[in-house]
Amino acid sequence: MSFQPVFVQFWERVKESIKKGTYAKLTLAKTIGDTELKNIYVRPILLENDVFSLSLTARYKTEEIESFHSLDEAFLVLTPYLNNPFLTALLFTTENDITFKLNKKRVASIIEQAPTFKHASDVIIEMKEKGII
């Protein structure tokens, strides 16, 4: 069974947290073995003219590479990294922490826990103040 439908559900939670203004951050972590790519951090940013975008920072052993994508593009960019090399995606919101997880048999699940962050991302707060969301 593919993990893709469960990741689609997880990504809906990401979009919902941005719309509600509760998004704090998103991280892809827990690699399989010793890989060059260690983490991918996803942070909201406002480009010129208050255009919403996501900054994807891929942290490798020796460098970091940052790219900018729309919400839909970010989904397409991140999906191939699941299961190779990442087993988890952690969404931190002010309401709860939501973890997309692949187990050893590559069965996907979504786990919710109490929130780690009390405040949304600074960009999300700015967007609320400007009436963008």
> pTM of the predicted model, to two decimals?
0.93
Cα-based distances in Å from 38 to 25, 93, 106, 115:
17, 22, 19, 24
Residue 3's pLDDT band (cuts 50, 70, 90): confident
Please tell me the distance from the alpha carbon of residue 64 to that of residue 38, in angstroms, as a whole number: 10
Please tell me the distance from the alpha carbon of residue 46 to that of residue 121, in angstroms, as a whole number: 12
Tens digits of per-residue pLDDT, 38-97?
999 999 999 888 889 999 999 999 999 999 999 999 999 999 999 999 999 999 999 999
pLDDT at 1: 52
